[in-house]
Structure 1
Amino acid sequence: MLTDIAIKKAKAADKPYKMTDGGGLHLFVSTAGGKLWRFRYEIGGKEKLLSIGSYPDVSLWNARAARDEAKATIRAGKDPGITKKLRKLSHVTSTANTFEAIGREWYELQKPQWAERHAHDVLVSLERDVFPTFGNVPIKDITAQEVLALLRIIEKRDAKETARRVRQRMSAIFVYAVASGRSENDPAAIVKGAMAPMKKGKQPAIIDLDKAREMLAKAEAEPAHPVTKLALRILALTAIRPGTLATTPWAEWPAGFDLWQVPAERMKMRLHHKDDEARDHLVPLSKQAVEAIEALRTISGRGPLAFPNTRHAHKPMSENAIGYLLNRAGYHHKHVPHGWRATFSSVMNERFRVDKPVIDLMLAHVPKDKVEGAYNRALHLDRRRELAQLWADLILDGAQPASALVMGPRR
């Protein structure tokens, strides 16, 4: 039997040689002086060698323990060499089956069908809120209780809506893992009913015409940058989405135009529609809207963006700037920038009930009828022009001209 002293004294020779310990275990000494533990065994009438590890990383005591374990495996009717390979494969598979590995795999599969901004939001939410906790955990080992605990942390930072989106994305990853044979259930689906309740309701908006006029007048009287005030007025007149307005390039507003064609790629729609020019949104502009745009041109018309950021001219303004202006005017939790769409819809539908389909077109709402959505995108343009002018006359009745906003008080 071998001893540690004998092993340490073993030197390289012209030819490799073996130092036998007994029970099939021996130390293989290479011509370079390397020392490798091997176990010789026979199974199925064939002689095989099992590599155990190198000395001194694997001590004599550990080599003997590995030999005894291999013998027990043989007695159980299994091949220790194959068992070792399966263990390695299991480790690799386990690493590949962590929540983060499968999550990123799912993300890359879904990404091509998403808009760039949405894809970015999905990945950021996973990297910020999920991967730090579950990234290295095998997905099949994650329980519903652990998922709920993670979501509770997000809810406690007053981000209940974010928690719901994270749960949905986690659930999609679990479903993908189940479908691909790497998990057995979706614990994120189980916890849906246990999440903190949210107040139901739409974004706050003033839908009374007189109150809407009063609000616009108060906001325009507040000290603010004229670009922000003109953005508020144009937003009210066009009922476009705030994010779409804030990123408008001057290229979409050539001098002397009265029909704004918003490219489909800037609209809120599915990715496969964003390259379809037929889905561009047409916005007929009232005389007052054109007047406001021309007033804006005197301020930012030399740059690429109609509404540049006041600190970084190459970046668009934040749509939050309009919201802060409304807040300062006393409308916090009463009306948000997006609320102008509700104001326009409520006032115009009340006065022109038969024009509801046209008003929906002006809001770029997707028709419930898919056939209508495919073939009725740009119809009623003349009536849309009329309604845009009627709305402008209503909401700006008694308002100051747009040129006055350029000279008004600033912050």
Structure 2
Amino acid sequence: MKRILTDTTIRNAKPKPDGKPAKHTDGGGLYLLVNGTGKYWRYNYIHGGKQKTLAVGVYPDTSLKQARDTHDNARKLLAQGIDPSTHKQEAKAAQVALTENSFELVAREWYSKFSGKWSKDHAANVLTRLEKDLFPFIGSKSVAEIEPPAILQCLRRIEGRGAVDSAHRAKTTAGQVFRYAVSIGKATRDPTPDLQGALPPPDRKHFAALTDPKEVGQLLRDIADYHGAPETVAALQLSAYLFQRPGEIRAMQWAEINLETNQWIIPAGRMKRRKEHAVPLSRQALALLVSMRSLTGSRAHVFPSRTDINKPMGCNTLGGALRKMGYDSDTQTAHGFRALASTMLYEMGYPPDVIEKQLAHSVGNTIRRAYDRSQHIEQRTAMMQQWADYLDGLRDGAQVIPIRRAG
């Protein structure tokens, strides 16, 4: 088949002098249609006894070579009895379907549907996991066509960074997306169970915490003597007295402090298990809050950020202060106050249910949790006051005998 057009001819091609479209043939039914708005590649052919036209592209976005390649492919389809226009429409529809059913689109739909019920930190972590570790590699693939090896490659990349725990979390997140895709009819199965045993066990390293009474006493003295911001000192002291999660301590708001019941009511939206949590306040904790009111009482947060008073204290502030005091990730962390209290209170003989309720942990199996609505608030109130008194004794270097619950 003889080709006629050249790049120079195409660049110089214009409509007819009277303004009507000009048709410049290249051979085999391919031609360039030139009018007042642009230059369009077209292919005229006959299929099923009818003449049809295939839109090939627009010049210069579609070059002469590209137009000829598309033309050659269309002629091959025609030789097989396939209508090139129908084939193009089906390919376009398949691409649209792929985009609508892509892992990323389904994952974002899942995320928007459920993330409102999560804590802010958890929601942020899940989104980062998706955008950093999953979307770049399987995000554009159809959620129904992703096989275990493709997921494993994502997990291996994470594992290669030495983040085995993160790899397991990414696998869990991917599984949740696949199960959602199954529920809305965009996939038939969750392939992640096929990867069982493909990753090394997660590193269950616990947050470092001191548990020796003498060392705890020294820690409390170091906090009291710390020359940092008074908000930081108070937040660390409350961490020891109340042993709630660092994020909950940092985000404490004045509106959550009930001075009538001497309780801090943490709203469900900030709790890991999405349930409101009442924290009894000892005399020492109340005294700290009174001292803080003169500093931050006009703000929403008890411990506001120093760079933006509308936000809580930064997530690295407490850990950074401990490091400045000489406590690293192997000795004592901000989160470690929970382990410190839990370990010592267990050794003191307090009932496990009371300790776990104070830690805001679920207690018992699913059936028991369904029927157990008790908060052990009276027992926890007494325990928290005794705990605060015990810590003060350790801090002041007194001869402290561990508390043993009566009976």
Superposition TM-score, scaled by structure 2 size: 0.75
Seq. identity, %: 30
Matches within 5 A, 1:5-404: 11=16, 25=29, 37-43=42-48, 47=50, 49-51=52-54, 53=56, 65=72, 68-74=75-81, 78-137=82-141, 147-174=151-178, 189-191=193-195, 193-253=197-257, 258-270=262-274, 273=275, 280-332=276-328, 333-353=330-350, 355-370=351-366, 373=369, 376-397=372-393, 399=395
Higher relative contact order (CA 8 A, sep 6+): 1
Q: For the residues of structure 2 that align with 1:104 and 1:283, how far apart are their CA atoms?
A: 35
Q: For the residues of structure 2 that align with 1:182 and 1:264, how far apart are their CA atoms?
A: 33
Letter in 2 for 1:85: Q
Q: Deviations over 1:278-307 (max 9, x none)?
A: xx3222222222122222223322322211
Q: Which runs of 5+ in 1 are unaligned?
A: 274-279, 401-411
Q: For the residues of structure 2 that align with 1:254 and 1:180, how far apart are their CA atoms?
A: 44
Q: For the residues of structure 2 that align with 1:263 and 1:14, how far apart are their CA atoms?
A: 72
Letter in 2 for 1:227: E
Q: For the residues of structure 2 that align with 1:380 and 1:192, how far apart are their CA atoms?
A: 40
Q: For the residues of structure 2 that align with 1:205 and 1:55, how far apart are their CA atoms?
A: 68
RMSD between superposed Cα atoms in Å: 4.2
Letter in 2 for 1:364: A
Q: For the residues of structure 2 that align with 1:330 and 1:184, how far apart are their CA atoms?
A: 54
Give the C-alpha shift of residue 96 in structure 1: 4.0
Letter in 2 for 1:73: Q
Give the C-alpha shift of residue 161 in structure 1: 2.5
Q: Deviations over 1:16-56 (max 9, x none)?
A: 99999998x5869799798764545353xx63524253797
Q: Is 2:15–2:36's contact at 8 Å kept on the other side of the alignment?
A: no
- Matched with 1:405 is none
Q: Deviations over 1:352-377 (max 9, x none)?
A: 34x33223222222222556545644
Q: Is 1:102–1:173's contact at 8 Å kept on the other side of the alignment?
A: yes
Q: Secondary structure at the match of 1:51?
A: strand
- Matched with 1:4 is 4
Give the C-alpha shift of residue 149 in structure 1: 4.5
Q: Is 1:18–1:26's contact at 8 Å kept on the other side of the alignment?
A: no
- Matched with 1:276 is none
Q: For the residues of structure 1 that align with 2:69 and 2:145, how far apart are their CA atoms?
A: 31
Superposition TM-score, scaled by structure 1 size: 0.75
Q: How many pairs does the alignment contain? A: 386
Q: Is 1:282–1:378's contact at 8 Å kept on the other side of the alignment?
A: no
Q: Which runs of 5+ in 2 are unaligned?
A: 397-407
Q: Is the alpha carbon distance of 1:231 and 1:126 closer, same or farther for their aligned partners in structure 2, counting shifts above 3 Å?
A: same
Q: Is the alpha carbon distance of 1:394 and 1:80 closer, same or farther for their aligned partners in structure 2, counting shifts above 3 Å?
A: same
